[in-house]
Amino acid sequence: MEEDFLSYAKDEDLSKICINCYDGINTITFSSNVKDAFNNLNYSTLKDYPHGNLLKKSIIDYWNNNICLKVNNIILTEGSINGIYLSNKLFLQPNDNVLGCTPQFPEYAMDVKMHGGNFNYYTLKEENNHIFDEDEFIKLIDNKYKLIYLDNPNNPTGQIISLKQIEKIVKIAKEYKIVIIVDEAYGDYMSPENSSINLINNYDNIIILKTFSKFFSLAGIRAGYMVVPNNFYNPLNKITNPYCINEIGRQMASIALNDNNFINETLFINKKIKSYFFKSLKNLIISHTDKTVAIFLLHHKNPNINLQKEFSKFNIVVVSGCSYMGLDKNYVRLRVPKEKNLEKVLQAFEYIDEL
């Protein structure tokens, strides 16, 4: 099943928008340690670039309670999307087939098509509240596929796929010699115990993508990383940019990873704000989601309602469902608002729910 793909990651003038629920970037909290580090920058910060391993060591330490990573399990990237580009560049040839699901991060399918590949997908069904069913997904796996791509948590629903489900898929994919890419762009909103990084020492057919843009609020430094098994490190390292992420970005990302107060506060406040949206609704439906994840998918029962347009009447900007495969104008993706904007967003919900 194939179709043309749109991108929601496009230029938008948000200067006149009062409430931005559009971007996936965390706007609720920001690391005070990172703020202090920015305020105290000096020239000596740059001296170790590009040979310093501070960020890789911080990544290793961050995951140390769950799994033992080594330097050659980590490839630095400019956000998780750079990891998408590198993975597809390494593995895809024209007419190769990739299996994913829909709705899902649309940029991935676009890049597959840029390589001349075919993106086929399993549909998260509206009648099942868009819940991911790994058994149904596994039925589609066969030897025609070169890659499998899943984002976890799912974008746009914000649902978390359990590590048990992911591992089940990885095992089947290995039988068919398929590489699975797990995009954890929103992964820091879930427990580290659920990350597919925990599988990296047991399977040689999995790649995990991470970013500092979403949870850590550091989109402006364009920092991310790939966690890969040993057999993929050298091939990927040959095609990556060895100067990826400037030294300031590396240091800020490292500081963010070590700010446990910020991490705990973000999870707590985000869950608190998101819980306000889980109430009885008449015409609006929230797809299956997890309360710790900053994004969720909303749709109106009336397919003729342009939900993005209705929210814009309240000066609230959201992502139209038309940006995702298989969704229509009566769908939107929202990122939870700041606490100061919560009341106005809830008022918009109440009004639109009556339409």
- Render pLDDT for 126-146 as a digit per residue (tens, 0 to 9): 999 999 999 999 999 999 999
CA-closest candidate to residue 296, choices 134, 130, 136: 130
Q: How confident is the model at residue 45 (pLDDT cuts 50, 70, 90)?
A: confident
Per-residue pLDDT tens for 262-286?
Answer: 999 999 999 999 999 998 899 999 9
What pLDDT, on the 0 to 100 scale, is given for residue 10?
53
Mean pLDDT of 141-165: 98
Residue 117 φ then ψ, to 5°: -90, 175
Residue entry with tokens 């310093």 = 52
What pLDDT, on the 0 to 100 scale, is given for residue 70?
96
Please give the DSSP secondary-structure letter assigned to residue 182.
E
Q: Angle at CA 141, nearest 5°, toward 111 and 238?
A: 40
What pLDDT, on the 0 to 100 scale, is given for residue 336?
96
User: What is the third-level CATH fold of 19-29+261-354?
Assistant: Aspartate Aminotransferase, domain 1 (3.90.1150)
* Segment among 18-22, 81-85, 101-105 with least mean pLDDT: 18-22
pTM, two decimal places? 0.94
Q: How confident is the model at residue 17 (pLDDT cuts 50, 70, 90)?
A: low
Q: How confident is the model at residue 35 (pLDDT cuts 50, 70, 90)?
A: very high
Q: How confident is the model at residue 16 (pLDDT cuts 50, 70, 90)?
A: low
The more confident residue out of 251 and 279 is 251
What pLDDT, on the 0 to 100 scale, is given for residue 12?
55
Residue entry with tokens 């799994």 = 67
Q: Where exactly does CATH 3.90.1150.10 map onto the chain?
A: 19-29+261-354
Domain 49-259 sits in CATH 3.40.228.10: no
Q: Angle at CA 125, nearest 5°, toward 121 and 129?
A: 135
Q: Rounded to an integer, what distance in angstroms lies between the CA atom of residue 287 and that of residue 158?
A: 9
Q: Where exactly does CATH 3.40.640.10 map onto the chain?
A: 49-259
Query: Omega into 153 within 30° of 0, i.e. cis?
Result: yes
Please give the DSSP secondary-structure letter assigned to residue 325.
T
Q: Angle at CA 337, nearest 5°, toward 211 and 255?
A: 35
Cβ neighbors of 175 (< 8 A, separation 6 or more) are none
Please give the DSSP secondary-structure letter assigned to residue 294.
S
What pLDDT, on the 0 to 100 scale, is given for residue 280?
87
Mean pLDDT of 48-65: 90
